[in-house]
């Protein structure tokens, strides 16, 4: 059998699919159709699209299984209606909004990043990506919403797969908008939690927690996880945190977590962990390239890597557990 170029062309042109979805989120296609299904003319007028492009755009979304069409009327799929309507608490489109506004353009400079080892994000000349990001309230809100999108599935899996009945309190380090604390507190009414992040995050965190009716059990603690001690709790969580930093900084954060835990306490680190053979989790490997583009020294890693760093920090026992999709967690017990 002769080889086929289909696989190569599908990967090489997959940015077409991605940009169609990202633009649909930007235009609010799914928001508009959540209000009521609509025909071509109505939907085009509502979104302000040119008549030349609209039909092909909407029908491409149908072909991509992002919309349904029956009798000339478009409607959301169950998946897009649940996850991509901004007014719903299940919305995860913040990550796609960030991908559209920032990452799509930055990834166009991947070749330069691979040549130089230097980050290529839109503020690449600034010394500290996060300082610049957190200094702009609008960009910060978008970034924190994106972190909720990337953490939602993992948060539910952590709520289900970790033995929370044995623990009473937790701290989410780098808590962002608060998706993980809210998810855990909702699933386990006995838990009290703290979100630990920079001071600029507090209004956004408090708003999200209050909107979910959990302000009595979830509080915010302001601090810098490099400059300040971590808050003490039975369980410390670091989600999509370690991969932002170089190896020495990773080791420092793990050591600080160890110091903040009581005997018998646990550290949960979750990421899109690269599989130990570095062959299967393409998302984790591509995420590591995203860290090349976005950060000065960050990189993703395998479960075995993280277990080794945890043991070096003093954790007596470690294990890896799959969460959902590309995400897994490494648990270290003190």
Q: Please state the φ and ψ torsions of residue 318, each to the nearest 5 degrees.
A: -140, 155
142 contacts: CB under 8 Å, gap ≥ 6: 94, 97, 98, 101
Handedness of CA 273, 277, 278, 282 (dihedral sign): negative
Spatial contact of 327 and 270, defined as CB atoms under 8 Å apart: yes
In whole angstroms, how far apart are CA 87 and each of 92, 173, 272? 11, 27, 27
Three-state SS at 97: helix
Can you give the C-alpha Rg of the chain in angstroms? Answer: 21
**Four-point Cα dihedral 43, 47, 51, 53, nearest 10:** -100
Handedness of CA 150, 152, 156, 158 (dihedral sign): positive
Q: How many helices (H) and strands (E) does the chain have?
A: 16, 10
Q: Which residues are catalytic?
A: 243
Contacts of 42-49 spanning 24+ positions with Cβ under 8 A: 43/74
DSSP state of 65: T
Spatial contact of 64 and 20, defined as CB atoms under 8 Å apart: yes
In whole angstroms, how far apart are CA 81 and each of 36, 156, 183? 11, 19, 20
Spatial contact of 29 and 76, defined as CB atoms under 8 Å apart: no
């Amino acid at each position: 059998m002769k080889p086929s170029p289909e696989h190569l062309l599908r990967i090489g042109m997959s940015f077409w699919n991605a940009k169609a979805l990202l633009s649909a989120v930007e235009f609010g296609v799914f928001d508009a159709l959540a209000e009521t299904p609509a025909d071509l003319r109505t939907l085009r007028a509502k979104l302000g699209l040119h008549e030349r492009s609209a039909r092909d755009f909407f029908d491409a979304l149908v072909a991509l299984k992002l919309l349904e069409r029956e009798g000339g009327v478009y409607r959301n799929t169950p998946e897009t209606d649940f996850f991509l309507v901004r007014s719903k608490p299940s919305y995860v489109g913040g990550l796609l909004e960030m991908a559209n506004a920032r990452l799509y353009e930055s990834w166009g400079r991947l070749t330069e990043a691979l040549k130089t080892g230097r980050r290529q994000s839109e503020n690449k000349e600034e010394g500290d990506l996060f300082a610049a990001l957190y200094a702009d309230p609008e960009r910060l809100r978008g970034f924190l919403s994106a972190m909720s999108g990337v953490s939602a599935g993992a948060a539910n899996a952590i709520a289900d797969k970790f033995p929370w009945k044995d623990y009473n309190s937790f701290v989410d380090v780098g808590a962002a908008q608060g998706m993980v604390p809210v998810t855990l507190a909702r699933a386990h009414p006995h838990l009290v939690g703290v979100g630990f992040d920079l001071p600029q995050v507090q209004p956004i965190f408090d708003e999200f927690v209050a909107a979910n009716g959990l302000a009595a059990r979830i509080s915010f603690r302001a601090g810098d996880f490099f400059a300040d001690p971590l808050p003490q709790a039975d369980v410390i969580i670091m989600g999509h945190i370690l991969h932002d930093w170089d190896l020495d900084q990773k080791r420092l954060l793990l050591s600080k977590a160890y110091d903040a835990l009581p005997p018998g306490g646990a550290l949960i680190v979750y990421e899109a962990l690269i599989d130990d053979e570095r062959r299967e989790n393409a998302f984790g490997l591509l995420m590591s390239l995203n860290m090349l583009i976005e950060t000065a020294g960050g990189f993703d890693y395998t479960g075995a890597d993280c277990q080794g760093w945890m043991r070096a920090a003093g954790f007596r026992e470690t294990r890896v557990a799959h969460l959902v999709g590309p995400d897994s967690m490494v648990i270290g017990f003190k």
